[in-house]
Amino acid sequence: MNKLLIIAVSFLCIGQASAQKGKWVSLFDGKSTAGWHTYNKPVNQPTAWVVQDGALYLDASSKEGRGDLVTNESFDEFELKFDWKVAKGYNGGVIFWVQEEPKFGATFITGPEFQVIDNVGYPHPLKPVQMAASLYDLIPCPTEYIKPTGEWNTSIIRFKNKKLEFIVNGKKAISTNVWDEGWNKIVAASKFGSECCFAKTSKGKIALQDHGGGTWYKNISIRKL
């Protein structure tokens, strides 16, 4: 009887764990930067990121707390959903698999980037792999998937079983396997080819890039897969 009870409880616990794993969890409460901190800074240190009209926004006029904003928690296989918009001429990004250690001076040294940029009004020429919603400097996103500058876009970054996908405004923009021969060739040919620790592990933090402001993020949620 005791053995049957133990087995039943075990199955119940497994079921609860699976349900929790697939549950959407908000990463932004729409009111504060709770759950986030400036990269390589103490969690309780003030940040230049503020909430503006219910969205996370970098106050570029601030002289303190500058830097990429990262989650307190690390994530492995996940689905990240968020809305973003960019002002005319500005640039930013959502970086994932970020390793937070003093030896890494920036989030992009270890983490790939979902590019956020004004495709039309950016003051410098852009390559296809630098356009909005591209896997930055690696794989381009079709420009027609992106809404006009200043409008909100809804995007998803999904990673499971070594497959990475970007979905932009309901359309699959990026789909690639990682860590296979094809992936290694793409990385080697990019600006990250000389970075020894770029995209080497799938468990890391999520970051919003400080690239001078002009980008907004809201409705940020994640679920572990």
Domain count, the chain: 1
User: What SS3 state is found at 155?
Assistant: strand
- Is residue 11, in this structure, part of any structural domain at all? no
pLDDT the model gives residue 63: 87
- Would you say residue 13 has pLDDT above 80? no
Window from 12-16, 86-90, 95-99, 162-166 with minimum mean pLDDT: 12-16
Q: Which residue has the higher pLDDT, 203 or 4?
A: 203
Question: Can you give the CATH number for the domain in which 52 is found?
Answer: 2.60.120.560
The whole model's pTM is what? 0.90
Q: What would the mean pLDDT of 11-36 be, rounded to a whole number?
A: 74
pLDDT tier at 20, thresholds 50, 70, 90: low
The whole-number average pLDDT for the span 160-181 is 98
Is the backbone of residue 54 left (phi > 0), alpha (psi -120 to 50) or beta? left
**What are the tens digits of pLDDT across the range 103-131?**
999 999 999 999 999 999 999 999 999 99
Residue range of the domain that includes 162: 25-224
Q: Are 183 and 190 in contact, with CB atoms under 8 Å apart?
A: no
What are the φ and ψ backbone dihedral angles of 48, each rounded to 5 degrees?
Answer: -80, -10
Burial class (CB in 10 A: 0-12, 13-18, 19+), 170: exposed
CA distances from 152 to 28, 39, 215, 217 (A): 17, 26, 10, 9
12: in domain: no
Residue 53's pLDDT is what?
96
> Is residue 182 assigned to a domain?
yes
For residue 9, is pLDDT > 90? no
Q: What is the mean pLDDT of residues 133-144?
A: 98
